[in-house]
């Protein structure tokens, strides 16, 4: 498992979009998009496989691992962009901004 700090491997995801914030628990080993949907939170998405780039967000705090990425360039990744449909949290707190 990644760089979990909490003893139970749990993580909180905070999303900032249009000036509003919403928080929900990350499901261990699951993507941010999957965890959001499981919590009743709607995030932008389309293909859900890392190709369309509809779910691009900027990683503000924390670390994630992307399972698949066919949409972001290495420079975009270096600039902090991630695909929520493919990003699995690796830290106890992950903050994304849309």
Q: What is the pLDDT of residues 2-20, one digit of tens each?
A: 444 455 667 999 999 998 9
CA 76 to chain centre: 15
Sketch the domain layout of the chain as residue ranges: 11-97
Closest residue by Cα to residue 87 from 58, 73, 67: 67
- The backbone region for 88, taken as left when phi is positive above 0, alpha when psi lies in -120 to 50, beta otherwise, is beta
Closest residue by Cα to residue 45 from 36, 55, 33, 35: 55
| CATH fold of 11-97 | Ubiquitin-like (UB roll) (3.10.20)
CB 95 within 8 Å of CB 17 = no
- Token reading at 79: 């600039």
CB 14 within 8 Å of CB 95 = yes
Q: What is the pLDDT of residues 31-90, one digit of tens each?
A: 999 999 999 999 999 999 999 999 999 999 999 999 999 999 999 999 999 999 999 999
């Amino acid at each position: 498992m990644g760089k979990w700090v909490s003893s139970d491997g749990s993580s909180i995801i905070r999303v900032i979009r249009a000036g509003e914030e919403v928080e929900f628990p990350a499901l261990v080993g699951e993507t941010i998009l999957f965890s959001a949907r499981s919590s009743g939170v709607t995030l932008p998405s389309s293909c859900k496989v890392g190709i369309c780039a509809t779910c691009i967000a900027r990683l503000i705090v924390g670390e994630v691992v992307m399972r698949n990425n066919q949409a972001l360039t290495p420079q975009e990744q270096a600039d902090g962009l991630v695909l929520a449909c493919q990003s699995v949290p690796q830290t106890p707190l992950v903050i994304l901004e849309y």
